[in-house]
Amino acid sequence: MVGPEDAGACSGRNPKLLPVPAPDPVGQDRKVIRATGGFGGGVGAVEPPEEADEEEEADEEEETPPRQLLQRYLAAAGEQLEPGLCYCPLPAGQAGAPPPSAAPRSDACLLGSGSKHRGAEVADGRAPRHEGMTNGDSGFLPGRDCRDLEEARGLARAGGRESRRRRPYGRLRLEGPGDEDADGAGSPSDWASPLEDPLRSCCLVAADAQEPEGAGSDSGDSPASSCSSSEDSEQRGVGAGGPEEGAPPATSAERTNGGAEPRLGFSDIHFNSRNTFQVSRGQSARDHLPPAGPPVPLPAAEQGPAGASARARRSGGFADFFTRNLFPKRTKELKSVVHSAPGWKLFGKVPPRENLQKTSKIIQQEYEARTGRTCKPPPQSSRRKNFEFEPLSTTALILEDRPSNLPAKSVEEALRHRQEYDEMVAEAKKREIKEAHKRKRIMKERFKQEENIASAMVIWINEILPNWEVMRSTRRVRELWWQGLPPSVRGKVWSLAVGNELNITPELYEIFLSRAKERWKSFSETSSENDTEGVSVADREASLELIKLDISRTFPSLYIFQKGGPYHDVLHSILGAYTCYRPDVGYVQGMSFIAAVLILNLEEADAFIAFANLLNKPCQLAFFRVDHSMMLKYFATFEVFFEENLSKLFLHFKSYSLTPDIYLIDWIFTLYSKSLPLDLACRVWDVFCRDGEEFLFRTGLGILRLYEDILLQMDFIHIAQFLTKLPEDITSEKLFSCIAAIQMQNSTKKWTQVFASVMKDIKEGDKNSSPALKS
Amino acid sequence: MAKAYDHLFKLLLIGDSGVGKTCLIIRFAEDNFNNTYISTIGIDFKIRTVDIEGKKIKLQVWDTAGQERFKTITTAYYRGAMGIILVYDITDEKSFENIQNWMKSIKENASAGVERLLLGNKCDMEAKRKVQKEQADKAFSSLARDILLKSGGRRSGNGNKPPSTDLKTCDKKNTNKCSLG
């Protein structure tokens, strides 16, 4: 199918390094055109394919922005790149001072992009069955793009100075029409578009990152990778052709992805990034990496052998990085990135293989022309519109004709391949639709939830809070309460529910706080010469030290209580003031979590008041004073209800002599704020404020019930490990339905009554309930 | 459940708060290091199976809370432990001084023949070292069976030098002794 022109044209341009058949300009152009047609309306950035010819010029024009980017990036990430590896050494004059912001990010970017890249490759090579190939590709592509662009840039700029270095990678790219397009397209206004930002930065980074990788590691790698990338892009391009003409890119992307998983969206973005990339280049790497989707496998089959193997080779930890570092941080950008999906012209840039270059449409046309009949092109193309995302890569292998130097497929074979392809597409579509529905449903639920919260908030604010004492125990309020408090009133309700038996005022808090501050001061001044006062002083100091240590270990993932974080000092103050207020209790590990949760919901003084009063409740006092016998009683009472509610599991635990202290200590000390996801913990706190200590134990039983089936299969150590580190995906619906199913009524006795009788029993000398706690 | 091991050992990890017990054990059991640790409340558990001389040894590690206050709770867990790992922080003299107290708790609460292992943690912070190795050797040389090993809790720079290798060797000795005795 490949026109002779293709082969000829390409060869000149293609670097030898690429194990790919020479790309042909014509093919590229065609492809480009198609792509443009498909996406064209949407992206302003995308230039008409014709511009490809002007690539060089375009490059020159646009040089500056990308360069600066690169420079900044390099400056920032300088340590990471091997000096020799940096392509595009920039003229000194051009190296503007990197914006301060750029530096820290760029590191991240580097890492991310590199990993992304790799991950993508790996994925590609590895997991053919995933529909997600796009993702993988996308991850891969951006790097490519950037590189290309950069190279192009560099070329234009440096006037071949750096060309040597660049070459190994992506020579191809430079020449590809896509590049040109992009370059030409990169009108300043486009760059400015905010949407592009993340993409841009990503690309840039990717490009940089790629460098060291390719150059540094195995030389063989880079060519292979570039080749594969080009393939990918090609495939993409093919797919891209599908999207309806005139549809704005964003829309099409969204449509296909359905706003679905970030990954999908992301992937789209990526390929698009070829075009976009350029556009965005102009700006700084401000946004660095867009969240990379987990590397989604591209069907291996589709890759050229070289590409596949290269990818396979590269597998490894990079995928991890990718998901770990990039993804979580930048989820928000997904959307914007999606919007930026421009056209597919860029693919033209990277015309590695002849066959790859063709878009499906072209292939179809050719096919038709050859077979002399129309092979349901219209439906197909329309169908494909919806699929740009995935089947693209598939297309390449299945639909494309063989390279011109190989015998062409027989008609049957071509037909069969087409049919197979159609099936794959149909399946992919089905999956997509299913996922879209699911997403829709989830969104609906979320909206509903939000609405509920909003309406509940109104009720709380307008009706309940003003009449707190009257309404707090009404059935309606209790029910509403169980649903979870709206975050906006949560702190208020907690305060009211916990009360202030201790009559602490904000002024009192200030007094204790200043006392604490004095103590810290004197402590730091006389840290070495205070052995005079004996143990108690040493103990108190240890307490102060421990507070410092623990603050940084409180919700470390939130980064708000750590040193330099917004609530670090508040947390420190509250804990310090408390140790002055209640020297008899002092600071006990676990308190920092309770204080932190309160700080998240209340003002400082109110948080302190709630904190002190909360810790003054009998159960908390028993635990934080580490009052053994009292703790034993709580455990014993818990076991009564445990046996009542979950007798099978109870016996199972008994058979391993697994006592409740092993898991309950952590749960009760921190009121679940350490063991459950924070939002869920807050919901537990809500009802804990309503129902009191009993609910803490009920929650514990709810957790056991939720995981009963799993726990029944485990032995001692696994149960212990499981319960001291609960799964993170625990959801509030499930947990609360389990908690609701726990009856806190032992025959006719309620928690308090059972507790009272346990107290009595123990007093009477029955001392062997929780053996682990006996000492 | 099929028995997937030849021997099962319960190991206990004790030492002052913040010396890096949890880090150490996470490194040991999961071979990763994370700077953001959460203080242990009560007790945590980790499992690791190691191969020693062709035998599968399953190690149950009980990681305890370090705060003095919790000692009353955690001493209950000494019972049945076959090996106890005492951890101190080489940058914190106090944590080393406290080893004596921890030794005392062992004497009072653990089974008689329990194996002990002394670990100086945070060796990556050599610049801040306050406790010299010789000090530790000297102070605890009387405890004939103690093995002194230093392990860096965190990776230094880019080089991943997991303490797990160190740990493994000590555990090996430990467990060997356990199995002998």
Q: What is the pLDDT of residues A168-184, one digit of tens each?
A: 343 334 333 444 443 43
Cβ-defined contact of A589 to B76 (cutoff 8 Å): no
User: Which burial class, exposed, middle or buried, applies to A535 when counting CB atoms under 10 A from its CB (0-12, 13-18, 19+)?
Assistant: exposed
Tell me the mean pLDDT in the region A509-536.
71
Contact residues, chain B, for A539 at CB < 8 Å: 68
pLDDT at A654 over 90: yes
Closest Cβ opposite residue A556 in set B38, B43, B76 = B38
The reply to whether A559 and A585 lie within a common domain is: yes
Confidence of residue A431 (pLDDT cuts 50, 70, 90): very high
Select the more confidently predicted residue: A419 or A289.
Answer: A419
Which of A592, A652, A667, A717 best probes binding to B when mutated, by most B CB atoms within 10 angstroms? A717
pLDDT of residue A720: 94
Specify whether A510 is located in the same domain as A423. no
What residues of B are in contact with residue A666 (Cβ under 8 Å)? Answer: 41-43
User: Among A216-220, A509-513, A685-689, which stretch is predicted with the lowest mean pLDDT?
Assistant: A216-220
DSSP letter assigned to residue B44 = E
The pLDDT, as a whole number, for residue A278 is 39
Res A715 pLDDT > 70: yes
Question: At residue A163, does pLDDT exceed 60?
Answer: no
* pLDDT tens digits, A21-69: 444 444 344 433 333 333 333 333 344 444 444 444 444 444 445 555 4
Please tell me whether residues A627 and A610 are part of one structural domain.
no
Same domain? For A606 and A567 the reply is yes
Do the Cβ atoms of B44 and A725 come within 8 Å?
yes
CB A48 within 8 A of CB A344: no
Nearest to B41 among A557, A589, A775 (CB): A589
- Complex ipTM: 0.84
Interface of B with A in 27-56 (CB under 8 A): 35-47
For residue A537, what pLDDT is reported? 55
Q: Is residue A166 part of a domain?
A: no
Residues 6+ apart with CB under 8 A from B142: none
> Is A717 a residue whose pLDDT tops 50?
yes
Considering only the beta carbons, identify the residue of B36, B44, B75 that sits closest to A556.
B36
Predicted local confidence at residue A174, as pLDDT: 37
**Nearest residue to A361 (alpha-carbon basis) of A390, A389, A338, A383:** A383
Please tell me which residue, A466 or A522, carries the higher pLDDT value: A466
Q: What is the pLDDT of residue A142?
A: 39
Whole-angstrom distance, CA of residue A252 vs CA of residue A178: 20
Nearest CA distance, B95 vs chain A (angstrom): 11
A333 inside domain: no
What average pLDDT does the structure give for chain A? Answer: 64
CB contacts of B39 in chain A (<8 Å) are: 549-550, 553-554, 589-590, 592
Query: So what's the pLDDT on residue A312?
Result: 40
**Which letter, b or e, does each residue of A289-299 get, where b requires 16 or more Cβ atoms within 10 Å of its Cβ?**
bbbbbbbbbbb
| Domains held by chain A: number | 3
Q: Evaluate the CA torsion angle A211, A215, A218, A219 in order and state its sign.
A: positive
- List all residues 6 or more positions away from A488 whose beta carbon is below 8 Å from its beta carbon: A457, A461
Q: What is the mean pLDDT of chain B?
A: 75
Asked if the model's pLDDT at residue B50 lies above 90, the reply is no
A441 has a pLDDT exceeding 80:
yes
Is residue A584 scored above 80 in pLDDT?
yes
A671, closest residue in chain B (CA to CA)? B41
Q: Which residues of B touch A669 (CB under 8 A)?
A: 41-42
Which CATH number covers residue A562?
1.10.8.270
Distance (Å, rounded) from C-alpha B48 to C-alpha A721?
Answer: 12
Mean pLDDT, rounded, for B161-173: 40
> Per-residue pLDDT averaged across B16-26, rounded?
87
Domain housing A608: 490-524+539-616
Looking at A616, A638, A662, which one is the last position of a domain?
A616
**Structural domain contains residue A330:** no
| Domain end marker among A616, A637, A655 | A616
Contact: B39, A592; criterion CB under 8 Å: yes
Interface membership of B130 toward A (CB under 8 Å): no
From chain A, the residues in CB contact with B18 under 8 A are 546, 549
The conformational region for residue A559 under phi > 0 = left, psi -120 to 50 = alpha, else beta, is: left
Chain B: nearest CA to A526, how far in angstroms? 16
As a whole-number percent, the residues of chain A with pLDDT over 90 amount to: 30
**What Cα–Cα distance (Å) separates residue A36 from each residue in A184, A243, A535?**
14, 10, 79
What is the pLDDT averaged over residues B115-126? 82
The predicted structure's pLDDT at residue A130? 39
Same-domain status, A643 and A681: yes
The alpha carbon of residue A736 and the mean position of all alpha carbons in its chain are separated, in whole angstroms, by 26
Identity of the highest mean pLDDT range in A80-94, A399-413, B97-111? B97-111
B contacts of A674 (beta carbons < 8 Å): 38, 41
Q: Are strands A749-750 and A745-746 parallel, antiparallel or unpaired?
A: antiparallel
The answer to whether A233 and A274 have CB atoms below 8 angstroms apart is yes
**Neighboring chain B residues of A553 at a CB cutoff of 8 Å:** 36-39
**Distance in Å, alpha carbon of A480 to nearest chain B alpha carbon:** 33
Length of chain A as a residue count = 775
A213, A115 in Cβ contact below 8 A? no
- Residue A346's H or E segment, with its range, is helix A345-349
Cross-chain residue pair A553–B67, CB shorter than 8 Å: no
As a whole number of angstroms, the distance between CA A742 and CA A748 comes to 15
Query: Phi/psi of residue A296, each to 5°?
Result: -100, 135
The closest CB to that of B44, out of A546, A631, A724, belongs to: A724
A58 within domain boundaries = no
Least confident window among B29-43, B117-131, B160-174: B160-174
∠ at Cα A279 (A274, A283), nearest 5°? 120
A548 falls within a domain:
yes
Question: What pLDDT does residue A333 have?
Answer: 41
CATH number at residue A740: 1.10.472.80
Q: Which one is predicted more confidently, A203 or B107?
A: B107
Can you tell me the distance from the alpha carbon of A561 to that of B35, in angstroms, rounded to the nearest whole number?
15
The DSSP code for A498 is H
Question: pLDDT category, A92, cuts 50, 70, 90?
Answer: very low
Residue in chain A lying closest to B10 (CA): A717
Examine residue A352 and state whether it is found in any structural domain, yes or no.
no
Q: Are residues A628 and A612 in the same domain?
A: no
C-alpha torsion sign, points A295, A300, A303, A304: positive
pLDDT at A247 over 50: no
- Please say whether the beta carbons of A428 and A390 come within 8 A: yes
Q: Are residues A745 and A677 in the same domain?
A: yes
Same domain, A580 and A651: no
If DSSP codes are grouped into helix, strand and coil, which group holds residue B63?
strand
Q: According to the model, what pLDDT value does residue A317 have?
A: 41
Poorest-pLDDT segment among A35-39, A416-420, A465-469, B115-119? A35-39
C-alpha distance from B74 to closest chain A C-alpha (Å): 8
> What b/e readout covers B29-41, taking b as 16+ CB neighbours within 10 angstroms?
beeebeeebbbbb
Minimal Cβ distance to A542: which of B36, B39, B68: B68
What pLDDT score does A711 carry? Answer: 96
- Top pLDDT among A727 and B38 is at A727
Q: Pick B76's closest partner by Cβ from A721, A725, A775.
A: A775
Give the DSSP H or E segment for B10. strand B7-15
pLDDT of residue B136: 75
Q: Quickly state the pLDDT bin for A86 (edges 50, 70, 90).
A: very low
Kindly determine whether residue B38 and residue A715, on different chains, have CB atoms separated by under 8 Å.
Answer: no
The answer to whether the beta carbons of residues A375 and A411 sit under 8 Å apart is no
Q: In terms of CA atoms, which chain A residue is nearest residue B58?
A: A717
Per-residue confidence band for B24, with pLDDT thresholds at 50, 70 and 90:
confident
Residue A763: pLDDT band (50, 70, 90) is low
Q: Best residue in A721, A722, A767 to probe B by mutation, most B CBs within 10 Å?
A: A721
Residue A320 within any structural domain of the chain: no
For residue A590, list chain B residues with Cβ-Cβ distance below 8 A. 39, 41
Q: A89, A702, A661: which is closest to B73 by C-alpha? A: A661
Same domain, yes or no: A646 and A603: no
For residues A630 and A760, membership in a common domain is answered with yes
Query: Where among A582, A616, A650 does a domain terminate?
Result: A616
pLDDT digits (tens, 9 = 90+) for A260-305: 333 333 433 343 333 333 334 434 334 444 444 444 444 433 444 4
Top-confidence range, A19-28, A70-79, A432-441, A545-554: A432-441
**Does B5 lie at the interface with A, CB-CB under 8 angstroms?**
no
Assess if residue A610 is contained within a domain.
Answer: yes
Q: What is the pLDDT of residue B129?
A: 83
Q: What is the pLDDT of residue A438?
A: 94
The answer to whether residue B36 scores a pLDDT higher than 80 is no
pLDDT of residue A492: 93
In a mutagenesis test of the A interface, which of B69, B89, B91, B101 is the best target, namely the one with the most A β-carbons within 10 Å?
A: B69
Side-chain-side CA neighbours of A133 within 13 Å: the count stands at 34
CB-side exposure of A406: number of CA atoms within 13 Å? Answer: 11
User: Is the backbone of residue B48 left (phi > 0), alpha (psi -120 to 50) or beta?
Assistant: beta
Dihedral over alpha carbons A15, A17, A20, A25 (to 10 degrees):
-10
CA A110 distance to own-chain centroid: 17
Residues A707-716 have a mean pLDDT of 94
**Hey, what are A64's tokens?**
């500056």
Do both A466 and A494 map to the same domain? Answer: no
Pair A431, A497 in one domain: no
